[in-house]
A and B are shown apart, each in its own frame.
Chain A
Amino acid sequence: MTERTRLVGNAVYGWLLLLPAAVLLAAFTHYPAVATLAQSLFTSGTALRPAEFAGLDNYRFMLEDEVFWRVLENNVWYAIGTIPASIALAMLMAVWVNRRLPLRAFVRMSYFTPTILPMIAVANIWLFFYTPEIGLIDQIAAGFGIGSRNWLGNPDTVLGCIIVLTIWKEAGFFMIFYLAALQSLPPELEEAARLEGASRWHFFRRVTFPLLMPTTLFVLINAVINSFKLVDQLFILTKGGPDNASALLLYYIYEVAFSFFDQAYASTLTVVLLAALAIIAIGQFVILDKRIHYR
């Protein structure tokens, strides 16, 4: 066997090993993305009116679509509301349950419980928290003599309610990652800091927090993706209402695709969603990666 045939053989072998993953990726990730892009350039066909090439018409329609701008704005607020709060809360809980506590396993488990429950079940529970008069929040408020509020029926409070529920659901999940990271920190660091007389806050700010940064990046990317992807609760709680005050981009895409049967416009919105996520992810990697200290 010559050197050359051996190299070719190696290359073929390598490609064959890659093939299963490549086929799956192409079939379920790349092809749908490209097909979505293509579909966004056509009109929605029905049996009686076949699809036609429409150029950028769908995108023009989107720019004029008030609901699109509303859901986009909502989504930005939803991201701003959920991401920092759930990460901060996760970090706080992780540091808390990483110490020696009575009933530590129990506390950890209760923080993690919301993650195990399916979102639909969680939303059904919270629906009865938020319901006016008979809901848990209103009943507690009534105990303090505070009047009833229509939490989900008021456009000013509905998005906040969705955000609180989402933070509650997500923080426990992110806590697990922080807990794992905390347990891999060498205990000598803390001992040294204690010998030097550093305060607890100082130790957290100068040692723990920087060492957790790789985890924070990972959690941050997940949180950003979730802020666009997690819309199950809307189906139960508000259906995007009142008057789109709680509708998010992905929920709107579902509505356009399966309630309006407008595949082309749904594809257009999906392209925007994909582009936004891609830009954010690239930005996070490029900018944050440089500032993170990997051990």
Chain B
Amino acid sequence: MMRRLKSARTGVLALIAGLLLAPAAWAVELTMYYPVAVGGPLTKIVDGLVADFMKEHPDIEVKAIYAGNYNDARIKALAALKSGQPAQLSVMFSIDIYELIEQDAIVAFDDIVETDEERAWLDSFYPSLMQNGVTGGKTWGIPFQRSTIVMYYNKDVFREAGLDPDNPPATWEELVAAGKKLVRRSGDQVERWGMMIPSTGYPYWMFGALTMQNDQVLMNGDGNETYFDAPATQEALQFWRDLGAVHGVMPSGTIEWGTLRKNFLEARTAIMWHSTGNLTAVKKNAQFDFGVAMLPANQRRGTPTGGGNFYIFKQTKPEERRAAMKLVRFLTQPERTAEWSIQTGYIGTRPDAYETPALKQYVVDFPPAAVARDQLEFATAELSTYQTGRVRKLLDDAIQSVLTDQKSVEDALGSAQKQADRLLKRYR
């Protein structure tokens, strides 16, 4: 009897102690939104990484919420902010930075870091991946799921056309020359195109590559000025149009982003420019020998980066910001970055990730995985300004109107620049 009473008492005591201690056990709760923009079991990978983090930091509880594509993630995060139940951090499109700053939604990482070691961490990523995350001298976004554009080419077709499959075109002239050899016609019908650059969905992104290759950026680092009508920009668009209209190596009109991979896999085009995010899918499905190369150069090589960054929201308590920092640092450690890159095809965001044994071996076994990394040296920021949605659409419409022969290069880009100026004037 006594013993039972005693054990009951211990039980109650334990319960009280537990209740008292429980809040301390999870000192901080974090909610994180993240988008998925490519195929594959990405949600499972993220859940696994977060579970690892909570094991290492038992005082922090993380709820990672899959939020659809980039657009959905931004809408959900901003809606949560307005409803007063905001998340503490989120992975969002790297080009959302100005929108988020204007909404006063995010806090700069410079205002959260405390130690020199943490400040050094801000500098541990590839500089070209930081371009979309830094403005006004502060770092607002930390690169996570990032990509570039690369050139996929069909080596079998290269051999058939008498081209060296290990020497893909490296300049615009070589590209046109190779394209002409790669096109196969029967009568006046084209059975196989030389190349395809997609021009729906994200025309401004592909165009960012062409302009960079012509040694011209599309906007300034403060996000309040665009260079749509610069001579080098016009030349780049003229070249894009001429690939179809003059050289006949690419179909005229716009080329669909969503079906391009299938065109390539069915050998209806010998070359395609596409996101590195397609690498795993092409590797799995290609029935032929394919290669991956850097995009060719005119004045220089060039590609925009793409993809998602970590942001920390402003409506957070200091301890939540610190905890969010810990999570971001955990997820961007070299080993985890390497694992993430191998499983998804995204670029390892920092040089030391490629020094880890796992990624080192992977690159040896599958060299195309290194092309995107090597190209980072020539990469620039993706088009991103204040009023970014509108400005982007102005450029998209201009590009499509030229590719479909509705407007001349000069008219289309001139009018896009004029309208962009009108939108951005008040941010200067």
Contacts and interface: CB of A to CB of B under 8 A. Distances in A.
B115 interface: no
A154 B390 CA distance: 23
B252 A150 contact: yes
Contact of B253 (A46, A47, A131, A154): A154
A140 to B, nearest CB: 14
A261 B200 contact: no
A242 B403 contact: yes
A127 B259 CA distance: 8
Contact of B200 (A155, A238, A258): A238
A133 interface: yes
Interface stretch (B29-37, B96-104, B159-167, B344-352): B96-104
B397 interface: yes
Interface stretch (B57-65, B121-129, B261-269, B356-364): B261-269
B11 interface: no
Nearest to B419: A66
A147 B71 CA distance: 38
Contacts of B266: 134
Contacts of B396: 241
Contacts of B83: none
B189 A127 contact: no
Interface in B250-296: 251-256, 258-259, 262-263, 266, 268
Interface in A40-87: 46-48, 67
B99 A259 contact: no
B201 interface: yes
Interface residues of A, number: 33
A258 B393 CA distance: 13
A261 B254 contact: no
A150 B268 CA distance: 14
A236 B403 CA distance: 20
Contacts of A47: 102-105
B27 interface: no
A64 B262 CA distance: 41
Contacts of A241: 200, 254, 396-397, 400
A30 to B, nearest CB: 22
Judged by DSSP, the binding face of A is loop
A203 interface: no
Contacts of A210: none
B389 A260 contact: yes
A262 B387 CA distance: 9
B75 A258 contact: yes
A152 interface: yes
Contacts of A114: none
B104 A48 contact: yes
B365 interface: no
A45 to B, nearest CB: 10
B190 interface: yes
Nearest to B192: A133
A153 B251 contact: yes
Nearest to B314: A47
A236 B296 CA distance: 30
A92 B103 CA distance: 54
A208 interface: no
Contacts of B389: 255, 259-261
A108 interface: no
B387 A260 contact: yes
Nearest to A245: B404
Interface in B365-404: 387, 389-390, 393, 396-398, 400-401, 403-404
Interface of A: 46-48, 67, 127-128, 131-135, 142, 147-148, 150, 152-155, 236, 238-239, 241-245, 255, 258-262
Interface of B: 71, 75, 78, 99, 102-105, 188-190, 199-201, 251-256, 258-259, 262-263, 266, 268, 387, 389-390, 393, 396-398, 400-401, 403-404, 406
Given A242-B403, A242-B404, 12 more contacts: A47-B102, A133-B190, A133-B268, A134-B263, A147-B188, A148-B189, A152-B254, A243-B406, A244-B397, A245-B404, A260-B389, A261-B78
5 contacts: A46-B103, A46-B104, A134-B262, A148-B189, A152-B254
4 shortest A-B CB distances, which residue pairs?
Answer: A47-B104, A153-B253, A242-B400, A153-B254
